[in-house]
Chains A and B, each alone.
Chain A
């Protein structure tokens, strides 16, 4: 097997809010193999979004602090490097699609400017002039600098939205090859009328369109790892299906490694190769999707699968998991799931849950953090 794109080892993230200290993510280890889609599921508040944002170091620090562990990306531990070096890794190295497409595009800039900015960043990096490298390299040779496009500057509209400005823009296309590439990416995400979209502002587009543009923007930087943080959950169900279909098709086409965060098992089942289940800040089970769905080896996963609707026909009320998600400021002692667990025994209340271990009778690479993993199969 090739080296994983990213290796998260024993990662712990705390939020310090007032006097309290919340351990949002505790001792999570996972890796995303090259070209694979790894899904993470869990209830709201289980720490999956925190984990997703911690990988590119996007969490506001403070209040968040990385309490320990490593995030190894291309041989570099992202936990150790200073924040000012992170921009060089974001975008082309690790990119991310956020939950809220309505707010994730800058309302003040046209779609073209925002996507072109991403393409431009990638081109600068490809030419070897990253902001970080520049500090170690000889000064930039100004005789070699590209000639600025004066015509495009002149064509920038003084007043927005004017007919005269539009005419001027048509007369002088902005950086034609950049424009073509932006168009290519908009076509890649199945936007029917990319030429018109280019000159629109985000507020003139629907949520589904904005999410497509976010996806196009992320892909245009050709990231080694793409993190999709619940990319469909803020959308209408019909739009969700469209974006999901698009994501699935793109996963085939683009062949990038993806960390797919969701609370929707159906979404994960359709997209992911491997699946991790998180509960109360901990990764409790990890394995190939098909195996995990067929033979869950953690009582929580089992309960989660039972709680998900499987057919569209009504079969009576859906199952739910008794109890509620624990307060992360005061997590229960022992295994964090024991208050809600049908298999709980005295040892679960006192001893912390066991480390990940392969489970007998389950597929290869299927690991669970439960004392009684073998007994899960016998649960209803």
Chain B
């Protein structure tokens, strides 16, 4: 194994093949757990339904669990992602929700990188002094905040203080243009509608910032500790010796090597970010799969949507695996000593 593009392709292909057992496992788990969570689902969901509907429902849910799962899997392979008990198909909701969630997650990832990582550098440079403590207080408070609490505080107190909107993707929905990608800013830009793009941007700030604040700690902390390991090394000294200013010594020479660890950790936080979207999207009315997951598990007084819940968890699993794959690829890009394995 070396470092040529073909090695990279083999590496990626192998990791994607590994995704298949992960998906089978995760769908079995969620399928079993959702289906055993509700006793007599048909009589609970349709207490006043006519006998025909009830019989129809029972015909589906009275089969053994393994048969139900097999049917679900066969449908999935044929492109049928199932439907909620009220007959709303799952696939369109997921297809519209994934880009919206992706936009939110990428925006918070961006904030985590441009704020969290420099904060880690500052903390490492001033280790043990007041700036270090300040940074630690900041990231620990984010770390310790439960997602729902952070989201509610942001929506109720922070939003009016800064005059930021705290609900939805746009001020009025739907927007006056076709949503091709279902990424709010991108759609407005594709329509060439700058005021709406700005509107979408303003709507994105608060949910993204909240999600970032809660998940940022690990990036800051890892950057700080790996910078503390790198700064005493000889090559940082030789960068100083060249006559580079402290800024370039830190950000070009030391941080470049610290990022190798930070990137891996950022890949791991993908799971946290995706899990955070469930609450954040619900609180901020963001039309992504996080909010969909919330309703699918029966949040907000809805009937549980088994197929929806299984689908969302599977999509999250794919997201986490791909995020870690990207992190591993970046790891190889950042560290020339790494071979693709």
B-contacting residues of A (Cβ < 8 Å)?
56, 58, 60, 83-84, 87-93, 95-96, 98, 100, 103-109, 117-118, 121, 125, 131, 159-164, 201, 203, 214, 217-218, 221
Q: Give the distance to chain B from A126, nearest Cβ to Cβ, in Å.
A: 12
CB-defined contacts of B239 to chain A, threshold 8 Å: 106
**Complex-state Cα separation, A131 to B249, whole angstroms:** 14
Looking across the interface, which residue of chain B has its beta carbon closest to that of A59?
A: B237
**Complex-state Cα separation, A159 to B2, whole angstroms:** 12
B240 touches A201 (CB 8 A): no
**Complex-state Cα separation, A109 to B238, whole angstroms:** 13
**Interchain residue pairs A-B with the least CB separation, the first 9:** A91-B243, A161-B3, A103-B234, A104-B234, A90-B243, A201-B336, A106-B235, A104-B238, A87-B245
Q: Give the distance to chain B from A213, nearest Cβ to Cβ, in Å.
A: 10
Q: Give the distance to chain A from B73, nearest Cβ to Cβ, in Å.
A: 37
CB-defined contacts of B336 to chain A, threshold 8 Å: 107-108, 160-161, 201, 203
Taking A106-B257, A164-B5 as contacts, is the C-beta distance between A214 and B238 under 8 angstroms?
yes
Mask of B293-332 contacts with A, CB within 8 angstroms, 1/0: 0000000000000000000000000000000000000001
CB-defined contacts of B4 to chain A, threshold 8 Å: 161-163
B242 touches A221 (CB 8 A): yes
Mask of B257-280 contacts with A, CB within 8 angstroms, 1/0: 100000000000000000000000
Interface hub of B5, B235, B242 (most chain A Cβ within 10 A): B242
B256 touches A131 (CB 8 A): no
Q: Give the distance to chain B from A103, nearest Cβ to Cβ, in Å.
A: 4
CB-defined contacts of B93 to chain A, threshold 8 Å: none
**B8 interface contact, C-beta 8 A:** yes
A-contacting residues of B (Cβ < 8 Å)?
2-5, 8, 232-235, 237-246, 253, 256-257, 332-337
**Complex-state Cα separation, A256 to B232, whole angstroms:** 29
Q: Give the distance to chain B from A374, nearest Cβ to Cβ, in Å.
A: 42
**Complex-state Cα separation, A323 to B295, whole angstroms:** 80
Taking A60-B232, A98-B238, A159-B5 as contacts, is the C-beta distance between A108 and B243 under 8 angstroms?
no
A84 touches B246 (CB 8 A): yes
CB-defined contacts of B3 to chain A, threshold 8 Å: 160-162
Given contacts A117-B244, A163-B5, A221-B243, 7 further A-B contacts (CB under 8 A): A104-B234, A106-B235, A106-B253, A118-B242, A131-B245, A161-B2, A217-B242
- State which of A108, A118, A164 has its C-beta within 8 Å of the C-beta of B257: A108
Looking across the interface, which residue of chain B has its beta carbon closest to that of A53?
A: B237
A-B contact pairs, 24 of them (CB 8 A): A58-B241, A87-B243, A87-B245, A91-B241, A91-B242, A95-B241, A96-B238, A98-B238, A106-B235, A106-B256, A107-B257, A107-B337, A108-B335, A118-B242, A121-B244, A161-B3, A161-B4, A162-B3, A162-B5, A164-B5, A201-B336, A201-B337, A203-B337, A221-B243
CB-defined contacts of A131 to chain B, threshold 8 Å: 245
B253 touches A87 (CB 8 A): no
Taking A58-B240, A87-B246 as contacts, is the C-beta distance between A159 and B333 under 8 angstroms?
yes
